[in-house]
A and B are shown apart, each in its own frame.
Chain A
Amino acid sequence: MTENIVEILLVEDNPDDVQLTLHAFAKNKFSNRIHVVRDGAEALDFVFSTGAYADRAMQPNPKVILLDVKLPKVDGLEVLRRIKGDERTRVIPVVMLTSSREDRDVIESYQLGVNGYIVKPVDFTNFIEAVRTLGMYWVLLNQPPV
């Protein structure tokens, strides 16, 4: 069932942003391995195989988690804190993909152990390019721990 393996987990509450990000991935031929969750609680369920994702327990970790900072229910920094605070999930690369360029968000993310921080460019060409680089690096180039 390798084709069902999620390589990129996208945590994003804004449906337009989801659509644009998926479009950007599609333009770069990454679309078939992306799973989208819409809030922090769902992201945690996915990562820790709880709730609706209880049957995911045997699946391998995604190669990268793209995490927004502002999220409903549990915010992005809290999701990051829990992922990096748990031995089972600490090794999953997490990249913040957000509109916020506030220094304190960047600093706190790195203090919590984030693997990358990308401010979504307003310009769509730049955005597509950012997504392409991101997918290229984390999905194709980077060697994650097995």
Chain B
Amino acid sequence: MTEKTKKFLKDYGASLGLFALTLLIVAVFRYFSPATVNLSLLVVGAIVVCAWYVGRGPSLLLAALFQLISVAMSTQRSFSLRYILVQLNTAVLLGAIAYLVSGRRRNESEIRRLNEELELRVAERTAQLEAANKELEAFSYSVSHDLRAPLRSINGFARILSEDYADQLPAEAQNYLRSVHRNAQRMGELVDDLLAFSRLGRQTLSKRRVDLNELVEDVAAELRSHEPGREVTIHCGELPACNGDPSLIRQIFVNLLGNALKYTRDRDVAGIEIGFIPSDGEPSAGAYFVKDNGVGFDMKYSDKLFGVFQRLHRMEDYEGTGLGLAIVQRIVHRHDGRIWAEAEVDKGAAFYFTLPAAH
């Protein structure tokens, strides 16, 4: 016997069983209280149960059987038009109940099936994502360990040569060695920055209230201490506190202020302004900004500004790895904020960004 016939027999058997059971109950009721309670509820109940648990076909069969038995047991023998209409009405009603209930049931099991399928697919995707994440972690681990080791060797041996054998090397050779050293150093910075950047995407944020005025003052003081000889005026307006990861928020200002200082290097007086532009309504929509009077950049390259390893200036003019703004953008995005820039060549640059307001 195939599965299909098995199911067919089981379903219609259940329908007949329900029919018999209902009749039995009706008979019992009739026996003990011939005055008779209204038993139509029982019939409807049996059909509903059959439609819900067994299926459409069997429940329609059940409805038909009930209708037949009701006609067969009727004491009335004159088949008036009115009688026929009433019976027809009941038949249609019972059939409709069976049809609608089983239809509802079908929808429900279809939804459940789809849900299960969806859950399965989500689990599958999650597993794939987890695997990809693991791979990425292994990758950055290997970057951290395996790429740094040879760099240290290049750096170290170049340094030993230029320090311990300086008297045996002509000036030109010493220059080349300094280049080797400088490049190894730069690659070390690139590796470290890249690692920091990739870590940013994975690390979980521990958000709390961050008082920005204090933080900016601190960062500015630290950065200025690197170049004590320069004339710099930093003006910082009132900055509302934000809700974010303190060390990452700090990194935003370290990078932006660092850039502002870097690109104002050839100004007699470097001018840097930090402030906040409030927005009507939502406090989180207001934008913080860092402005400078430095060399700026051409706005037609603004789409490249936040890209990884993208640089708008030549290495010999302004040093850097091309990751600073990419890191800033990633931090802002991870705080559900936006960042954009306005600049003009030789007139200065301004960076605007939004952060969630402190509660």
Contacts and interface: CB of A to CB of B under 8 A. Distances in A.
Interface of A: 14, 16-17, 20, 23, 69-70, 98-102, 120-125, 127
Given A100-B145, A102-B141, A16 B153 contact: yes
Contacts of B191: 122
Contacts of B184: 122
A16 B157 contact: yes
Nearest to A119: B148
Interface of B: 141, 144-146, 148-153, 155-160, 184-185, 188, 191
B212 to A, nearest CB: 27
A99 B148 contact: yes
Determine the main DSSP class of A at the interface with B.
loop
Contacts of B185: 122-123
A69 B144 CA distance: 12
B156 A124 contact: yes
A113 B78 CA distance: 101
Contact of A23 (B141, B151, B160): B160
B95 to A, nearest CB: 67
Contacts of A99: 144-146, 148-149, 152
Contacts of B145: 69-70, 98-100, 102
B67 to A, nearest CB: 74
Contacts of A127: 152, 156
A122 B144 contact: no
B144 A101 contact: yes
Most chain B beta-carbon neighbours within 10 Å: one of A23, A100, A124, A125: A124
Given A99-B145, A123-B155, 19 more contacts: A14-B149, A16-B150, A16-B153, A16-B156, A23-B156, A23-B160, A69-B145, A99-B149, A99-B152, A102-B141, A120-B148, A122-B184, A122-B185, A123-B188, A124-B152, A124-B156, A124-B158, A124-B159, A127-B152
